[in-house]
Structures are given as structure tokens and as C-alpha cells.
A and B are shown apart, each in its own frame.
Chain A
């Protein structure tokens, strides 16, 4: 944090951070800064520590060395500046409608009755906040349906709305594309990007498949083998770097301003 010359503290800054899961170091002595408004694709093999990194930024997983700051403040649970979409967000979906699930998350950390049972002014205020996030992701029409009647993409849309409750300035999205087909995946990425631009917030978006993020993300944070590196897309999305990252031969082809990544000889675009 210290030595940062910019007037506003950056969304995430890490100084000599070491993270352990059990007795395995998933990051050691990592220092980096996520600039304001960035769309950062968080890449790395499964199990490399993408989720652990996000949990550390949230203050849920302990940092064993160094310091992580979010907008200049040391990380800690219940940080209202962060919106979070975990990898496995919901329990086996009950028959509740989407709106109820989102309402349960609004100020869900406070004691008392659920917010949509409170009378009068509070209730209208909360209802307006829920309407706002539903509108942002274009899910107003989905919110009345039971959540287990929605497709994977529609559910992600609702959960993205929930992550936007309380106007966070940083979104942490952990594998939001995991169970989506390529078309839906593109839609979710485009939606996240549109929201990021509209609200001027920073996004950390983890995925094991880089292709849906190409052309949208402006930075890449890759995590693997104890190291993490943040770079511009052009620096990281290259054959040698990706080959080393995934541990198999990867080719990168640039044509007509588009990027194609070929893994194992199969084009993925």
C-alpha cells in the first residue's frame, strides 16, 4: 500500500503475500496491484489457488504472510466494497423464487427479521435496492420464478444481481462460467463487462477456460505453482506463457484483431 502514488487507493493491492492451504503454499511472496476499473481474468489450472486467492481478498481465508489491502484497507470479513459470487453459490436449490434468495442476501449479515418482512419505509427501500440490481443484470422477469426452474445461465444472472447489492466497487466472480455452454458463457461475460463499464467498478473473474474472456478482459492474473503474475493480455496470452501455465503445448494465433487459443491442436475460440 505505502508508496502508491495514485490519489485513490487501488481495488486490490498485495505486498509480499504468502497464502497457504493446509501445508501447501499456493502463493509465496506475491506483490501486485489491480488498477481501478480493470477487468482481470484470473487464470490457472484447477486447484492452483484461484478460489483461495479470492477468499483471501474477502478476508475469509487467512493470509500467512504479507498484506492484502482492498481500496487501501486491510482485508476483513464483511467488506461492503466487495461483491462476491462463489464457485458453488447455492445449496441444492429449494423452490424459493429468485427474488426471495436475493432478498435474503440483502444485509443478511445483520441480526433481526429478514429484510422483506420489515414494515413500511425500510421495506420499500430494500425493495428498491433489489429492483435496481435486478434491472442492472436484466433479470427482473426471472426473479418471480422458482430458482430451480431456471437454466444455469439465468441463475448466474440472478446471483450476479445479488453480488451487486449494496453497490460494491470490486466484483469477485469465482468460475461463473463453470457449468455454461459457450454461447451462455459469452453472454455472461458480456453482461459483466457492460456492468463494469456502467458502474466503473473493477472485476476479478476466474475461469479455467480463457477463450470466453478474450477481447473483454484487459488484464490477466495467472496463478500457478506458487506464483501469481498480473500482466496485460498481450504479455500473458502467448504460446510460451500459456504452455508453461497449463503444462501442455498451447498455441496462440492472432488474426483480424481476434485471438485464438489452440490447446492440444484443437481450436477453441
Chain B
């Protein structure tokens, strides 16, 4: 399957996005913000379709909308997104509705819509790889600087605040990173299935590990495994990649639950 250039691109793109998703997803799950990430992808859907409507590249509209929404969430929150599921859910459905409206005005493309909603990793070209790689590296560097106060603030917000961690700034910066990663993830899994790469592997890793270092490592490995596994399975079975990625991610989580529920020991 590596004989084809589109498959090589697909593997590279999935690898980049899976590494980011595993890393950032770990903190999303730890902070109880996985639903917020899901909402961001829907905002991105409205952004992407809106960009198409005015003739801009959809990836720009997607990234711009998610980052704006992420920053707004961070600044509007109290340093955490926990317990705000109603507000997030409403924004999520409203944005999906807006995206639908924009699509309605766009006469072109049911395929565009399907690609945005469910991903189109086989359509990634060389220039798109660059668009994934550059923001991806920036996100990894930002996470390297942010991870320590973020971990502290995620586990014990009150103590962290007393020790001088700027909770709102840390939360906003993190949500901006989540927004960029979400926009990248949409390229692979689509708006509706970002959970599969961003939340599934991270949640599985947290079931199986007892320290953040091991947890993040395992989360990244599992995300890459689900991404590449999904690509390979879709090659052999001719089913959609996003289906296999979400299936692997969910199967992994259920297996980890069963194993840790049966008295498995965490590393």
C-alpha cells in the first residue's frame, strides 16, 4: 500500500495528527474538557463552510474559527470548562446549524460536506502536509513550555492558584492549542469523529497508567496505533478510514476498562 503516494501522505498526516492528539488529548481528559474539544470541532465546521462560502481555503476558516472559539472559552471561563456542558452543547449545535446553513448557500458540494464531517485523509496532498506539520511543531513546543503549570492547575487548581499559577492564562493558552489540534484532527477524522483520536487514546491511557509521563507516552502510542491501524484496515477492507479509527479507539478503551476493572495493575 505504500506504493501509492496518497497512502504515504495519508500515513504521514495521520502520524502528525495522532501524535498531537495523543499529547493534547491527555490533558483534555485530565481536565474534563473533552466535550469542549468536541464543541470546538463543530465551531470549526461553521468556520470551514463559511470560508468556502466567501471563497477562502476551508482549512483557514476551520483553524481561525476553532482558535477564536478556544480563546473565547478560555477567557470567559474560570480557569476550567468543567460543569459547563449545557453552554458548550448549545454552542456546539448552533455552530453545526450555521455550518449547515452555509452549506445550503454553497451549491457545489455534498462531497465537501462529507469530507468535513467525516474526514478525508486519503485526499491529503503535499502542501496540506506542510499545513499540518508547521502548526503541529508549534503546538508541541507550546506544550513543552506549558505542561508543568498545566498539569498542576489541572490536578489541583486551588493550590496552583495560591502558588502563583495564572489559571486563566494557562487555560486559555491550552484551549488555543486544543483548537489548533482539533482543526488538524478534522483533516483526518472529520468534525464528528475528533473524539476518536483526541479523547479515546488519552482516556485509555489514563485507565492503564498511574503517572503523567507514562500516560502521555501511552496516549501518543495508542493514538498513532489507532490512526495507522485504521488506515491499514481501510486499505484492506475498503471501508472508510474514520470508521476504523473510531472503532479501534473505542475497542481500545473498552478493553482497557475491562482489564483495569478486572483488577489489572496500573504502571
Chain A positions within 8 Å of B, measured between CB atoms, are 55, 58-60, 77-78, 82, 84-86, 88-92, 94-97, 99-101, 104-105, 107-117, 146, 162
Contacts and interface: CB of A to CB of B under 8 A. Distances in A.
B contact face: mostly helix, strand, loop, or mixed = helix
Contacts of A109: 149, 152, 160, 163-165
Contact of B207 (A88, A92, A95): A95
B213 A101 contact: no
A114 B165 contact: no
Given A108-B153, A116-B211, 8 more contacts: A78-B162, A84-B163, A104-B155, A108-B149, A108-B165, A109-B149, A109-B165, A116-B213
Contacts of A101: 155-156
A77 B210 contact: no
Contacts of A99: 211
Contacts of B30: 94
A100 B164 CA distance: 20
A117 B212 CA distance: 9
B119 to A, nearest CB: 30
Contact of A105 (B147, B159, B161): B159
A87 to B, nearest CB: 8
Contact of B149 (A60, A82, A90, A110): A110
B34 to A, nearest CB: 13
Nearest to A59: B162
B151 interface: yes
B152 A104 contact: yes
A82 B154 CA distance: 21
B149 to A, nearest CB: 6
B161 A77 contact: yes
B125 interface: no
Contacts of A114: 147-148, 151, 212-213
Nearest to A85: B159
B251 interface: no
Contact of B162 (A84, A97, A100, A107): A84
Contact of B155 (A58, A90, A117): A90
